[in-house]
């Protein structure tokens, strides 16, 4: 039984993992001024962050069209499994659902399954990676779909922004609140509310304290971390990600640690210097 695995570009998985597990990526769109780019296709991450640094306005992002998903459905695979960014953060999930409906109106050669990861960036990426490993191991589709619900709910997800400038520009918080937080050197740690919506976890004064807190918060759910993988996504701050990895290795015994760059879709809102941490 062949299963084709598709995700969107918000998953922020390293290229070597995508290639190893034959994961197909459908890109979101990023628009600077009047020019539109496909995330991860029309520019690489270095080019994106350089453009972001020099842009006076926040780039706009948009979900893939149903047609972008549909063109990936053709082929010999009996099942198509799609894992998207949280529907609470993007309309990508709805676009994939519409693609499924359109395709199945005229074709009955395969079954298409669409899952909401309830996460984003490396949180979403870990869900995709876990399912990819199961597919490679020969797991049947029914077991895969049943187990996916446990995996999705089991992701622990946190992120820390270095600057509030981009989320202020994007309307995520008020301009005055952002200015006050910046003046007071307040850093925010965000998490998921469990239903795919970003929620405030903590407000901390000072970069060093916030960084230390992001290390500590990882181990506070009393989980067996030795059986879990932790992924560290960085917004063009690889040295910070390496320092975070070092601190994690000193304090915990994870099964594996992955470092990845936050791509242009999520990076448009995080801005440079942010860290996204997830473990599963």
Task: Give the model's confidence band at 180: pLDDT under 50 very low, under 70 low, under 90 confident, else very high.
Answer: very low
* 148 and 242 together in one domain: no
Rama region for 28: left / alpha / beta (φ>0; ψ in -120 to 50; rest): beta
* 160 and 274 together in one domain: yes
Instruction: Measure Cα distances from 18 to 6, 11, 80, 124 in Å.
Output: 10, 10, 16, 13
Residue 162 predicted with pLDDT over 80: no
* 104 and 169 together in one domain: no
Residue 185, pLDDT score: 61
* 141 and 163 together in one domain: no
Residue 177 predicted with pLDDT over 60: no
231-255, pLDDT tens digit by residue?
999 999 999 999 999 999 999 999 9
Residue 217, pLDDT score: 93
* 123 and 248 together in one domain: no
* 83 and 217 together in one domain: no
* 83 and 172 together in one domain: no
111-134, pLDDT tens digit by residue?
999 999 999 999 999 999 999 999
Residue 176, pLDDT score: 32
* 141 and 162 together in one domain: no
Q: What is the pTM of this model?
A: 0.91
Tell me the residue range of the domain where 174 lies: 156-279
* 98 and 63 together in one domain: yes
* 145 and 190 together in one domain: no
Q: What does the pLDDT average to over 72-92? A: 95
Residue 229, pLDDT score: 97
Map the chain to HEC letters: CCEEEEEEHHHCCCHHHHHHCCCEEECCEEEECCEEEECCCCCCHHHHHHHHHCCCCCCEEECCCHHHHHCCCCCCCCEEEEEECCCCCCCHHHHHHHHHHHHHHHCCCCEEEEEECCCCHHHHHHHHHHHHHHHHCCCCHHHHHHHHHHHHHCCEEEEECCCCHHHHHCCCCCHHHHHHHHHCCEEEEEEECCCCCEEEEEEEECHHHHHHHHHHHCCCCCCCHHHCEEEEEECCCHHHHHHHHHHHHHHCCCCEEEEEECCHHHHHHHCCCCEEEEEC
Residue 190 predicted with pLDDT over 70: yes
How many domains is the chain built from? 2
Residue 206 predicted with pLDDT over 90: no
* 162 and 271 together in one domain: yes
Residue 207, pLDDT score: 84
Domain of 206: which CATH number?
Answer: 3.30.1180.10
* 133 and 181 together in one domain: no
Looking at 153, 169, 188, which one is the last position of a domain? 153
């Amino acid at each position: 039984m062949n299963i084709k695995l598709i995700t969107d570009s918000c998953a922020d998985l390293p290229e070597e993992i995508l290639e190893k597990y034959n994961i197909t990526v459908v890109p979101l769109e990023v628009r600077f001024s009047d020019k539109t780019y496909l995330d991860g296709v029309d520019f690489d991450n270095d080019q994106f962050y350089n453009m972001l640094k020099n842009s006076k306005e926040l780039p706009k992002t948009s979900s893939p069209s149903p047609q972008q998903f549909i063109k990936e459905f053709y082929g010999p695979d009996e099942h198509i499994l799609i894992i998207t960014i949280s529907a609470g953060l993007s309309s990508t999930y709805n676009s994939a659902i519409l693609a499924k409906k359109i395709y199945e109106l005229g074709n009955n050669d395969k079954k298409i399954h669409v899952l909401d990861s309830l996460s984003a960036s490396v949180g979403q990426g870990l869900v995709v990676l876990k399912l990819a490993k199961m597919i490679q191991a020969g797991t049947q589709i029914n077991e895969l779909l049943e187990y996916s619900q446990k995996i999705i709910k089991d992701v622990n997800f946190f992120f820390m922004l270095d600057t509030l400038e981009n989320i202020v520009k994007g309307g995520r918080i008020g301009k005055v609140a952002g200015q006050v937080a910046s003046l007071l050197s307040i850093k925010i740690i965000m998490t998921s509310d469990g239903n795919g919506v970003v929620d405030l976890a903590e407000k901390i004064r000072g970069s060093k304290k916030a960084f230390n807190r992001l290390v500590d918060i990882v181990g506070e759910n009393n989980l067996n971390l030795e059986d879990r993988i932790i992924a560290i996504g960085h917004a063009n701050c690889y040295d910070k990600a390496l320092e975070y990895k070092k601190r994690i290795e000193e304090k915990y015994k994870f099964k594996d640690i992955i470092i990845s760059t936050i791509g242009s879709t999520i990076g448009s809102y995080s801005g440079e210097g942010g860290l996204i941490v997830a473990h599963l």
